[in-house]
A = this chain, B = another copy of it.
Amino acid sequence: MQPAIATHGGASAIPDEVKEARSQGVQRAARAGYCVLREGGTALDAVEAAIRVMEDDPVFDAGQLLPPRVGADLNYDGEVELDAIIMEGKELRSGAVTCVQNIKNPISLARKVMERTDHLLLAGKGANQFAKEMGIDEVDPSELVTEMARKEWEEYREFNKNVKVSYTNRADFGHEHETVGSVAIDKWGNVACGTSTGGITGKLAGRVGDTPVIGSGAYCDNAYGAVWTTGHGEAIMKVNLSKTVLSYMEHQGLSAQEAADKAVGFMHRRVGGAGGAIVLSSSGDLARSFSSQRMAWAFAKDNSVRYGVDPGDDHDGGKIA
C-alpha cells in the first residue's frame, strides 16, 4: 500500500490575513507525518506526529504569531480545557481525553490512554491525574492562553452577560475553531485518525464537544477508511457524523467523496449544523466535504503534497525531499 496522510486546521471563516500561514501549517504537518510513514512508521505514529506539529504551531491560535504553543479558546469561566482523540482501524483501538488542563500535547496523552489503560476516554481531573502518572509535564496555563484568546473571551462575556442563566441562544460569536486533525494510511494498509482542539470561546466549563467522542469527531475502520470532522461540535455529535460517513460507504457502496458529501448534507438538513469531514479511504483516496466557508487542508502521498483553503482549491505543494 502507498502510504498517505492528510491534515487539516479547522473548518471556519479563516481571515484572509492568516490564510497563507494556516495553509503552510497544515502542509508542514502533512510533510512531517509523511516522513514518519516513509521511514516505516505506522499510521498511528504519523497521525500523532502531524497533530503534535500543529498543536505546537502558533498559526493555529487565531493567527497570532506567538511563542510556539497552540493557544486555546477560553471557556465561560476563562479557563482552557482541551480535548483530543486518536484511533486505529485494525482493532478499533482508541484513546481520548476531554477537559484536560495544562497539557501541551493532548494527542499524545490520548495515545497513552489507548495504550496504557483499559479505557477509551478520560475526563478532567482524572485525565490530568493520569497524565501526571505517565510522567507528562504540565505547562503553566498562561502558556496556552494568548492575548487574542483572552480578548475574544472578554468580548464574549460582555456580550452575553445578561443571558448566563439560560445559557441557550447565546450570541453566535463567529469564533475561530482551533481544531486540528489528521488521517493516515500506512504501508500495511492500516488506517488511523486523530484530532485535537481547544473547543469554542465561552463554552461552559466541562463541555465535551465532538472531538473526543468516538464516531462523532473521528472514526476509522480498515475495511472502509478513516474520518475526522470539524465544525459545530454539537451538530456533529447529534448525527454521529464520522460513523455516518463510513456507514454510507459500508451499506450503500458510496465512494469516500459521495459518502462525505451525503453525510455533511444530511447533518445540515436534519439538525442545521455547519461543518466538514475529511475521509481517507482504505484504498488511499482523499475526500473533503465542508459546508463552512474555508478549511485548511494538505495531503501528502507519493512524495508530494497537495493543499487548499477555499472550496475547490487543489494546489501543488511540491515534492517532499
User: Considering the chains assembled together, what is the distance between the CA atoms of A30 and B124 in angstroms?
Assistant: 35
Contacts A166-B116, A234-B118, A238-B120 given: A125-B206 contact, CB under 8 Å? yes
A26 within 8 A of B: no
User: Considering the chains assembled together, what is the distance between the CA atoms of A29 and B184 in angstroms?
Assistant: 47
A315 within 8 A of B: no
In the bound complex, residues from chain B placing their C-beta under 8 Å from that of A206 are 122-127, 129-130
Q: Which 4 A-B pairs have the closest CB atoms?
A: A126-B206, A251-B251, A124-B124, A126-B205
In the bound complex, residues from chain B placing their C-beta under 8 Å from that of A167 are 116-118
Identify which of A13-21, A45-53, A146-154, A209-217 touches chain B: A209-217
Residue in B closest to A99 when the chains form the complex, CB atoms: B123
In the bound complex, residues from chain B placing their C-beta under 8 Å from that of A203 are 119
Report the minimal beta-carbon distance from A138 to chain B, rounded to whole angstroms: 15
In the bound complex, residues from chain B placing their C-beta under 8 Å from that of A204 are 117, 119, 122, 126, 130
A183 within 8 A of B: no
In the bound complex, residues from chain B placing their C-beta under 8 Å from that of A32 are none
Contact surface of A with B, Cβ cutoff 8 Å: 75, 81, 91-94, 98-99, 115-127, 129-130, 133, 165-170, 203-209, 213-216, 219, 234, 237-240, 243-244, 247, 250-252, 270-271
Report the minimal beta-carbon distance from A78 to chain B, rounded to whole angstroms: 13
User: Considering the chains assembled together, what is the distance between the CA atoms of A124 and B238 in angstroms?
Assistant: 21
Residue in B closest to A129 when the chains form the complex, CB atoms: B205
Q: How many copies does the complex hold?
A: 2
Residue in B closest to A234 when the chains form the complex, CB atoms: B120
Does B130 contact A168, Cβ atoms closer than 8 Å? no
In the bound complex, residues from chain B placing their C-beta under 8 Å from that of A120 are 208, 234, 237-238
In the bound complex, residues from chain B placing their C-beta under 8 Å from that of A93 are 238
Report the minimal beta-carbon distance from A172 to chain B, rounded to whole angstroms: 10
Does A240 contact B239, Cβ atoms closer than 8 Å? no
10 A-B pairs whose Cβ atoms sit less than 8 Å apart in the complex: A119-B234, A124-B125, A125-B206, A129-B205, A130-B204, A213-B213, A214-B216, A214-B240, A243-B244, A247-B247
Other than the given A118-B167, A125-B205, A243-B244, 20 more pairs (CB < 8 A) read A92-B271, A99-B126, A115-B168, A116-B166, A117-B167, A117-B168, A118-B168, A122-B204, A123-B123, A123-B207, A124-B125, A126-B206, A126-B207, A127-B206, A129-B206, A214-B216, A214-B238, A214-B240, A243-B243, A251-B251
